[in-house]
Amino acid sequence: MMITNDTIEAANQRAVTRKAAFPAAVSVRYDRRVARVFITLDSGLELAFSPKHAQGLEHAHPADLLDVEISPSGLGIHFPHLDADLYIPALLEGFLGSKRWMAEIGKKGGSASSEAKSAAARQNGKKGGRPKKALMAA
C-alpha cells in the first residue's frame, strides 16, 4: 500500500474523530497501598482497577507498575516494564482485556464458592435439582 497525502489526511481525520468521542487520560498512577491503577480522565472521571484483573498485568510485581505512561493520544496507557498496553475506550466499556481474557475472569468468578452458595446447592438438590426447561411446541 502506497502512503499518500490523502492516506495521511484520512488517518488524521479518523484520529480526530476518535479522540473527540472519548475522554483522554491526563494522569495515571499505581498505588501500592491499595494495589490499584488509577487513571484520571480529562472529563474529571477517575477509573481504578486491580492489575490482577487486567490482561498483561495479572502477574506484575508492584515495581513493574510504577512507571506507567500515557499514549500521545491520551487514549491508551503503557507499562514499559511489562510491554503491556490498555486502551481507555475499552476500559470505559468495562473490558480489561480480550474477549477470551474476560471470559476467563468471568469463569473464575462463577466458580467461587461460599458457604451460602453450598447451602443453596444442597437445598436445591433436595428438591430434585434444577427444574427441567419447558419444551416449546412447534
pLDDT of 25-70, one tens digit each? 999 999 999 999 999 999 999 999 999 988 889 899 999 999 999 9
For β-strands 36-41 and 46-49, DSSP reports them as: antiparallel
CATH of 23-109, one of 3.40.50.970, 2.70.98.10, 3.30.2130.10, 3.30.2020.40: 3.30.2020.40
Are 43 and 27 in contact by the 8 Å Cβ rule? The answer is no
**What is the Cβ-side half-sphere exposure of residue 39, based on CA atoms within 13 angstroms?**
25
Asked if 43 and 62 count as a contact pair (C-beta separation under 8 A), the reply is no
Q: What pTM, to 2 d.p., does this model score? A: 0.61
Query: What letter does residue 77 receive in the DSSP assignment?
Result: E
Question: What's the confidence (pLDDT) of residue 133?
Answer: 74
